[in-house]
Amino acid sequence: MSDLAVRELPLFPLPDVVLFPQEVLPLHIFEPRYRMMLRTVLETDRRFGVVRWDPNQQEMAQVGCCAEILQCQTQDDDRSNIVTLGQQRFRVLEVVREAPFRVAMVSWIEDDPSTSHDVLQDLGHQVTQALRDVVDLTGKLIGKPTTLPADLPDLPRELSFWIGSHLGGPVADHQQALLELTDTSERLRQEFALLDQTRRQLAARTVLKDTFKDLGEPRQESS
């Protein structure tokens, strides 16, 4: 990644898609303007910006994530399947060109490093435990054991990005806000609150399921 604080970056607005750092995003490129964008970025540093497009408000988010092209397969009709990896987050300063594809001046975003290591580690442990509980309870409800990946990040910042990217439900509704935060501890706190709420709801549903299961079992008559 360039050390320059500000640079021009081609933008790829995607409806309701939020890319986080170190997350893989496969894409199918078929629109003529984005075919052109793809050719351009492949000739330079293989990077472009993914930004969430809100189809309801018809507006683009002002914070996105730079995507680096890892693989590209172009078909005979000039459509392409690419695999990208989220890199650094950025803030859109100014859109400098709309055609043939959108290009903006952006500045890179980093998390504030002021929070102590011990605080971040403690928050990370709390979030990981809440995450494990949610996964376990989900497995019980669907009747199929579920597990977390073996390579779940243990560094607090990377963990917060992973959770923001992978969890559905209530967390998905907060993805853009989580991406925009520049405080790892605050991102973890918000994710813990969302996970804890989900954990409580799943626990209540599990109790209800067990209760109905018990009621449905035939009673054994005593001799």
> Would you say residue 222 has pLDDT above 90?
no
The pTM assigned to this predicted structure is: 0.86
Q: How many CB atoms lie within 10 A of CB 189?
A: 16
What's the pLDDT tens digit per position in 202-216? 999 888 766 655 555
What's the pLDDT tens digit per position in 55-87? 888 899 999 999 999 999 999 899 999 999 999
